[in-house]
Structure 1
Amino acid sequence: MTEQELLQQHPNAYMSGQQQAFFRELLLTERRELQERITSEFNELRDHEPSSDPADIGSTEEQRQWQLRLLEREKKLLDKIDRALERLARGEYGWCEETGEPIGLRRLLLRPTATLCIEAKERQEKKEKHLRET
């Protein structure tokens, strides 16, 4: 099924077996690609030859720290994908954890790991902003 076919389905078909299969494949593909990137970046970090030039050491260390932060972010995304796959297996995928309402196909296509509908996410962001300002 293509994204267009998915979006053309009747609203009553929300999270039908076909739609669940579509998102399972989407999540598995993202997971596989992300795992390949993580492995590649990790190998690049591990295989890097140290330099004896002090200027090179500084820039190399800065690059290394940047790569480590990137790896950390990608690992967090990998965990989110795994949790989304678990929700799919339990039949909870696509439903807002806060309200129980549908998250929506368009939102899931943009962010397949979403756990909140747009309204709940906006409330969460407003609350976080308010806490930062106080």
Structure 2
Amino acid sequence: MTKEELLAMPADDYMQADQLAYFQAVIQAMKVETQARIEQSRSAIESLDSPADPADVASVEEERHWLVNTIERDQRLLPQLEQALGRIQEGTFGWCDDSGEPIGLKRLLISPITKYCIEAQERHEQIDRHQRQV
């Protein structure tokens, strides 16, 4: 199934077997890509040499720092991907955790790991901003 076919489906087909299978494949592919990126970044870190020139040391350290940040970001993503796959198995994928309303295909295509509809996400972000200010 393509993205266009998915979006062309009737509203009554929301989160039926075909749509769930589509998102499961997308999320599985994201998981494989993320794991591969983690391994590539780790290999890149291991292959970095310690240069003798002090000017090159800063550049190597900057690259190492960037690679570590990439690994950390991807490691935070993996559990979210697993949770999304779990929601597919439970039959709750595509439905807002707060309101129970449909999240929407367009939103899920942009971010298949999302747990909230737009309104609930905005509410959560507002709460987070308020808590950071306090």
Runs of 4+ in 1 over 3 A off after TM superposition: none
Measured in 2, the distance between the counterparts of 1:132 and 1:81 equals 26
Moved more, 83-92 or 14-23: 83-92
After superposition, the CA RMSD in angstroms is 1.2
Q: 2:88 is paired with a residue of what secondary structure?
A: helix
Matched residue type, 2:108: L
Task: Give the match for residue 92 of structure 2.
Answer: 92
Task: Give the match for residue 68 of structure 1.
Answer: 68
**5+ long unaligned stretches in structure 1:** none
Deviations 1:71-123 (A, max 9, x none): 10011112211111111111111111111111111000000000001110011
Task: Give the match for residue 122 of structure 1.
Answer: 122
**5+ long unaligned stretches in structure 2:** none
How is 1:31-110 mapped onto 2 (pairs within 5 angstroms)?
31-110=31-110
Measured in 2, the distance between the counterparts of 1:118 and 1:29 equals 25
Give TM-score scaled by structure 2 length. 0.93
Task: Give the match for residue 6 of structure 1.
Answer: 6
Moved more, 109-118 or 24-33: 24-33
Q: Determine if contact 2:98/2:120 at 8 Å carries over to the other structure.
A: yes
Give TM-score scaled by structure 1 length. 0.93
Q: 2:119 is paired with a residue of what secondary structure?
A: helix
Equivalences, count: 134
Q: CA deviation at 1:59?
A: 2.0
